[in-house]
Amino acid sequence: MKSIKYSILLLGTVLMFLSNGYTQSEWYPQTSCTTTDLFGVWFIDDSTGFVVGGYPDDCILRTTDAGDTWSPQTYPEVGGDGYLEEVCFSDDMNGWIVGQCNTILHTTDGGATWIAQSTENITLSSIFCLDSNTLWIAGNEYYDTTKAIIYYTTNGGDTWIKQQTGLATGFWDVFFSNADTGTAVAGGCVGCVPMDTTGSFIMRTTNGGETWTVQEHYEDLTGLYGVFFTNDSTGIVVGTGGTILRTTNGGETWIEQTNETWPELWNVFFINADTGFVVGGNWSAHNEGIILRTTDGGTTWTEQTIPTEMPLNKVFFINDSTGTAVGNNGTILRTTNGGETWTEYIWPVSNIEEIREPITRIYPNPTNNVLNIEISNAGYQGLEIEILTITGKLIYQKEYRNINAHFVEQLDLSGYTKGIYLVKVRQSNSVYVGKIVVR
């Protein structure tokens, strides 16, 4: 479903940041997938974790130092728009990744190597690992959002069995509180074309998925995207337009929580019965990134302060203190105090000699008034200029079309707070990132 969405949205491109410890003359190689929109995250233990992503390139990233550094992993080639959507581990050795184009990857050595498993032509948005043998995967038939499907396996993915739901839309997430009891959420997505007109669904099984029944059908909601249960009875569902739904009776009734005009909410995760997190953001505009936190089981939610505006797609906690959230343009956030504060992983940027054609000059630097941005041999294609805080918050953005070969733009920075900023100039496949000082 995300592949359909990305085919019609105006996609944001690369956010490339200077690492805090680097000077402008010290540029370091960038891995090929640090600018990818990241959809899934899982940690095996306090140190070892995995992140998976899709547009513009599918990738698997691995850390062995609690997220201080991330390295791309090798894996079987994914065909077509094979965006990797979600990752889960049943133990420290056995893990699975699912995605578009019938993609199911399996590891039995803790993520050192991955092998492909197969079902039919399906696009997968979610996977749930009950143990090393029993798993469920959910999505829709390949390039057909009107045929929701769920598969399960009892032999670690060697064979997959389709479970019938009869639902005319696509699944976004599936969650099992035990081997028999599971919940799946479905619907369209904001920005999808054609827009799904059947609304959103919550489905429930109490016999391991042999049969699924509709618990709720919300005709006025575009889609429900995330589900999490803290026990067989108490669960949270999140979705379009800041929707948060809560049940305390196994889904017999769902109560909508207070809506503070939040953006789309994509995922929910609970540390324990009381403390949980929701992440989201506006995919269309690549902004409004948000993390919400509850300490009363989901009755009330408080927005957290985070160092990014990028939409966030998934959140995972390995224990009560340590959590990771991932999102668009390679965004990775980390907390070590239970979500009280979040820090962003800053990727090294590419070698400037490889990316600064056409030649870009930014002056004067330092400046206290006007900043000149000059590009020689710019050609006639469009370009975009962005100014960001040193923590990556976007504060200025403008696109220019049909420009002259020699381009000069003057920006008034007289109202900016004194400090260090990043200037990014993007043209075609070239990106220039520079540091300026406002005084």
> Per residue in 174-218, pLDDT tens?
999 999 999 999 998 775 544 445 789 999 999 999 899 999 999
**CA 74 to centroid of chain Cα atoms:** 20
Asked if 355 and 432 touch (Cβ cutoff 8 Å), the reply is yes
pLDDT at position 401 is 80
Model confidence at 412: pLDDT above 90: yes
More confident residue, 349 or 182: 182
Q: What confidence tens digit (pLDDT) does each residue in 313-346 have?
A: 999 999 999 999 999 888 999 999 999 999 988 7
Domain ranges of the chain: 2-344, 356-438
Q: Which of 17-21, 305-309, 404-408 has the lowest mean pLDDT?
A: 17-21
Q: How confident is the model at residue 228 (pLDDT cuts 50, 70, 90)?
A: very high
Backbone angles phi, psi at 259, to 5 degrees: -100, 120
User: Hunting for tokens 């965004």 — which residue is that?
Assistant: 331
Model confidence at 226: pLDDT above 60: yes
> Token pair for residue 34?
């640090």
Q: Which of 7-16, 156-165, 307-316, 353-362 has the lowest mean pLDDT?
A: 7-16
pLDDT at position 351 is 39
| Burial degree of 389 (CB within 10 A; 0-12, 13-18, 19+) | middle
pLDDT at position 348 is 61
Q: How confident is the model at residue 359 (pLDDT cuts 50, 70, 90)?
A: low
Fold type of domain 356-438 = Immunoglobulin-like (2.60.40)
Q: How confident is the model at residue 391 (pLDDT cuts 50, 70, 90)?
A: low
Model confidence at 35: pLDDT above 80: no
Backbone angles phi, psi at 54, to 5 degrees: -130, -110
Nearest-CA neighbor of 125 among 49, 205, 188, 206? 188
- List, in order, residues 6 or more apart from 397 with CB less than 8 Å away: 384, 385, 386, 387
pLDDT at position 119 is 62
Distance (Å, whole) CA 416 – CA 421: 10
User: Hunting for tokens 């400090």 — which residue is that?
Assistant: 419
Query: The domain 2-344 is classified under which CATH number: 2.130.10.10, 3.40.50.80, 3.40.50.720, 3.40.30.10?
Result: 2.130.10.10
Distance (Å, whole) CA 290 – CA 129: 27
Exposure letters 158-197 (e unless 16+ CB within 10 A, then b): eebeebebebebbbbbbbbbeeebbbbbbbbbbbbeeebe
pTM attached to this predicted model: 0.75
pLDDT at position 194 is 46
Angle CA 253–201–41, to nearest 5: 100
Q: What confidence tens digit (pLDDT) does each residue in 106-158 have?
A: 999 999 999 988 766 678 889 999 999 999 999 887 555 557 889 999 999 99
Exposure letters 101-133 (e unless 16+ CB within 10 A, then b): bbbbbbbeebbeebeebebeebbbbbbbbbebe
More confident residue, 51 or 259: 51
348 upstream amide cis, omega within 30 of 0: no
Mean confidence (pLDDT) of the chain: 82
Look at residue 329 and give its three-state secondary structure. Answer: helix
Exposure letters 240-270 (e unless 16+ CB within 10 A, then b): bebbbbbbbebbeebeebeeeebbbbbbbbb
**CA 349 to centroid of chain Cα atoms:** 21
pLDDT at position 360 is 74
pLDDT at position 29 is 31
Model confidence at 47: pLDDT above 90: yes
Q: How confident is the model at residue 28 (pLDDT cuts 50, 70, 90)?
A: very low
DSSP state of 176: E
User: Hunting for tokens 């949205």 — which residue is that?
Assistant: 9
Q: What confidence tens digit (pLDDT) does each residue in 256-298 have?
A: 987 677 899 999 999 999 999 999 998 877 788 999 999 999 9
> Token pair for residue 265?
């909410």
Distance (Å, whole) CA 130 – CA 178: 8
Model confidence at 9: pLDDT above 50: no
Model confidence at 350: pLDDT above 50: no
The answer to whether domain 2-344 and domain 356-438 are alike in fold is: no
